[in-house]
Amino acid sequence: MKANSAIRRKGSVRSSAAKHGGAELEDTSAVEASSAGINEASVNRRILGIDPGLANTGWGILDNINGRIRYIAHGIIQTKNDIPRAKRLFFILQSIRQVIDKYEPAEAAIENLYFGRNVSSAIPVAEARGVISAAIAERGIPLHELTPNIIKLGVTGHAGAGKKQVQEMIKIILGLDKVPKPEHAADALGAAICASNNPMSAL
């Protein structure tokens, strides 16, 4: 993994890591990340979790090492409302490709879309989910598609758990000093935790 690199276009990506160095990419939006050092030789399964959204897409990386979960990194991909939607979606696509290329996950997990009553507000999320899923498929990575209740169940043991309870359990499971921020990144880590407890044969 490359240490300090910079590519400039029209926005910014900020990344900081304990052992991986940082990167900055200027574009129509921003990606922010934080991560921890790892021992690549001991990794059994590396999982990318995604919480999709047009304005905010959270992502998280963890390793399942002989059944033990280890936190690696998390971040957020942000796009601005005043940018044309097509450009926002393309930036999300490019950014997910960067995350995949940097961390090389063997599996991915994404939260299924729940439309509820407000279908119009779910459409942009569905579009973001589509380009993210395409980026994952492009790299040939198996994808876990998980409902919100399944993620809650996988993290806390209770499908009806509240958001604060889920976030606190994510912190405990990953051995972090505090709940991961922002919220979208914490949700992505929750999806990765849930997927890590499921064998690939379940896909």
In the set 51, 63, 107, 187, the catalytic residue is: 51
- The DSSP letter of residue 3 is -
Active-site residue (options: 27, 63, 184, 187): 184
Q: Which of 27, 63, 107, 111 is labelled catalytic?
A: 111
177 is catalytic: no
List, as one string, the DSSP characters of 124-145. HHHHHHHHHHHHHHHTT--EEE
> What size, in residues, is the chain?
203
Distance of alpha carbon 151 from alpha carbon 35, whole angstroms: 22
- Gap between the Cα atoms of 150 and 159, Å rounded: 6
**Known active-site residue 27:** no
Q: Reply yes or no on whether 187 is catalytic.
A: no
Placement of tokens 């001991």 in the chain:
42
Active site residues: 51, 111, 184
